[in-house]
Amino acid sequence: MEEKLSRVAKTLKPSPIQELSHLAQRCNAINLAEGFPDFPAPPHVKEAAVSAINSDFNQYRHVQGICDHLAKQMKQNHGLHVDPLTDIAICCGQSEAFAATIFATINQGDEVLLFDPAYETYEACIAMAGGIPVYVVLDPPHWTLDLDKLMTYFTVRTKAIVLNSPHNPTGKVFTKDELEAIAGACRTKDCLAITDEVYEYITYDLERHISLASLPGMQERTIITSSLSKTFSVTGWRVGWAIAPACIASAIRNIHVKITDSAPAPFQEAALTALRSSPEYFESLRREYEAKRDYVLKLLVGAGFQIHFKPQGSFFVFAELPVNCPLSDVEFVSELIRQAGVAAVPGCGFFHTNLSSLGLSQADQTYQKRYIRFAFCKSDATLSAAAHKMGETVDGNGHLKLF
Ligand SMILES: Cc1ncc(COP(=O)(O)O)c(C=O)c1O
């Protein structure tokens, strides 16, 4: 039967990380692996969904109020003028908004720049459209973008660059200088920018999210994608959007209608209530995640991990293995699940660049197997249970003795 599969289907393989996911389930491990909250959604948002179901919003639906509100928000937060009637496509989560954007803009053979490490789904969408992902390496340990090198990745075939800030898996928020360099490169090379801003409201300390589209000359070449998923702890509701120049937004809408027709009707209704949440809601989201970040950082440092980079946004810590740990990231996570009963994600799945092709020494290439991603979008009870379990697997210095 395999021969009946399409070329694309054959190239999409389950990642080795999925095996660890199964191991975690078998061991009933505490889940610090996946990026979805295990605590309830805000009551006012849940009530709006229940009320929409009770009001029989059961059919295909486009809730224009979402677009009206997003346009207002874009003006307030980023100074952008967005026409709610023409420039927004409501989709099933950022994932569909991103896929539809790729299908709306990428032809066979077009190159798309991505920053490495990267969230895993971008590459698959680009490949399905026949595009070629080209990775721009972010340098560890602070995941800095080498501004001089950036231009060297562009070729005559570069059609778009993907920017995810705040960033999964590192927690990096791209700096103003980095954004200006990316914007400058896009303008010079007449290149589109596709942004993934799902963590736009989850930033820490004094960091605040800046949308690339708000830089001079960028709105007319940027497609912003985002969703309700992370801001309102409703990753299963599947409501997201793309905001783009009218002609691109219209193409995204057409593709969305052909694939899914519309996002879930009752959850679109609830999205309206969610997006209209008070400023206090967004502030407390930030504050609560910051406390969780600090708790997990302390836990991981205490367990012997090397934290070179304190997350500035999103809800992940990308921690380096202890200095003298001989295990790879995959081996370490496997032991962490078996011995401590805690699951995390080995970092290797987020790296895509063959570093030997860049002429890096063997020693410099090893970092791709030395990072583990911990998700802290979990209840305080889950986080303290993880701390307790890890505490049972420590040596006299308080460090994890998994190796
Ligand atoms: C960077 C990033 N983008 C997008 C998504 C998925 O967003 P959505 O649920 O809106 O499809 C995730 C989920 O983990 C993510 O980390």
H/E stretch holding 283 = helix 279-302
Q: Return the ligand 1 atom nearest residue 228 CA.
A: 10
Task: Tell me the Ramachandran region of residue 217: left when phi exceeds 0, alpha when psi lies from -120 to 50, beta otherwise.
Answer: left
Rounded Cα–Cα distance for residues 288 and 378 (Å): 11
Percent of the chain with pLDDT over 90: 86
* Domain spans of the chain, in order of start: 2-41+280-391, 57-275
* 18 contact partners, CB below 8 Å, separation of at least 6: none
Cα-based distances in Å from 339 to 20, 33, 225, 380? 14, 16, 40, 22
| Each residue's pLDDT tens digit, 175-209 | 999 999 999 999 999 999 999 999 999 999 999 99
Distance CA 377, CA 380 (A): 9
Give me the chain's average pLDDT, please: 95
Distance 369 CA to ligand 1 centre (A): 23
Give me ligand 1 centre to Cα 200, in Å: 12
pTM above 0.75, yes or no: yes
Question: What residues does 345 pair with on adjacent strands?
Answer: 373
Percent of the chain scored above 70 by pLDDT?
99
Count the Cβ atoms, other than its own, within 10 Å of residue 56: 9
Paired sense of beta strands 132-139 and 111-116, if any: parallel
Ligand 1: which atom is nearest the Cα of residue 93?
10
Rg (CA), the chain: 21
Neighbouring-strand partners of residue 91: 240
Question: Between residues 398 and 40, which one has the greater pLDDT?
Answer: 40
The reported pLDDT for the residue numbered 22 is: 87
Q: What span, in angstroms and rounded, lies between the C-alpha atoms of 318 and 135? A: 19
Give the residue, by CA position, lying nearest to ligand 1 atom 12: 198
Kindly give the distance from the C-alpha atom of residue 163 to the centroid of ligand 1, in angstroms, as a whole number: 13
Retrieve residue 196's tokens: 């993934």
How confident is the model at residue 363, as a pLDDT? 66
Ligand 1 atom nearest 36 alpha carbon: 14
Q: What does residue 166 show for φ and ψ, rounded to 5 degrees?
A: -55, 150
Nearest Cα to Cα of residue 150 among 101, 105, 116: 116
Residue 314 CB–ligand 1 contact under 6 Å: no
- Confidence check: pLDDT of 370 > 80: yes
Question: For the ranges 21-35, 54-68, 265-279, which has the lowest average pLDDT?
Answer: 21-35
Please tell me the distance from the alpha carbon of residue 343 to that of residue 276, in angstroms, as a whole number.
35
Q: Give the confidence band of 240 by pLDDT, cuts at 50, 70, 90.
A: very high
- Is the CB of 93 within 6 Å of ligand 1? yes
Given the CA of residue 95, which atom of ligand 1 is nearest to it?
11
Please state, as a whole number, how many other Cβ atoms lie within 10 Å of the Cβ of residue 338: 14
Collect all residues with Cβ–Cβ distance below 8 Å to 149 and sequence separation of at least 6: 136
Q: Is 90 exceeded by the pLDDT of residue 87?
A: yes
Is 168 near ligand 1, meaning CB less than 6 Å away? yes
Distance from the CA of 92 to the center of ligand 1, in angstroms?
11
* Atom of ligand 1 at shortest range from CA of 167: 1
When pLDDT is averaged across residues 255-282 and rounded to a whole number, the result is: 98
Ligand 1 contact via 35 beta carbon (within 6 Å): yes
Q: How far apart are the CA of 361 and the centre of ligand 1, in A?
A: 34
Structure-token match 């803009």, residue found: 105
Tens digit of each residue's pLDDT (9 = 90 or more) over 310-333: 999 999 999 999 988 999 999 999
**CATH code that applies to domain 57-275:** 3.40.640.10
- Please state which architecture CATH assigns to domain 2-41+280-391: Alpha-Beta Complex (3.90)
CA dist 143 and 165 (Å) reads 12
**How large is the average pLDDT for residues 235-257?**
98
Position 396 pLDDT exceeds 90: no
pLDDT at residue number 355 = 82
Q: What are the φ/ψ torsions at residue 186 (nearest 5 degrees)?
A: -60, -40
94 Cβ below 6 A of ligand 1? yes
- 94: CA distance to ligand 1 center in Å? 6
Q: Is the CB of 31 under 6 A from ligand 1?
A: no
Q: Give pLDDT, residue 264.
A: 98
Q: How far is CA 137 from CA 39, 182, 314, 321, in A?
A: 35, 14, 20, 20
For residue 22, the number of C-alpha atoms closer than 13 Å in the C-beta half-sphere is 5
Least confident range from 1-15, 56-70, 295-309, 369-383: namely 1-15
Inter-CA distances, 368 with 149, 191, 362, Å: 20, 29, 11
Rounded Cα–Cα distance for residues 55 and 72 (Å): 27
Ligand 1, residue 96: give the atom nearest the CA: 11
Report the sign of the C-alpha dihedral through residues 301, 304, 310, 311, in that order. negative
| Residue 183 CA to ligand 1 centre (angstroms) | 23
The protein residue with its alpha carbon nearest to ligand 1, atom 14, reads 35
Number of Cβ within a 10 Å radius of residue 187: 16
Indicate the pLDDT class of residue 365, thresholds 50, 70 and 90: confident
Pairwise pLDDT comparison (59 vs 357), residue with the higher score? 59
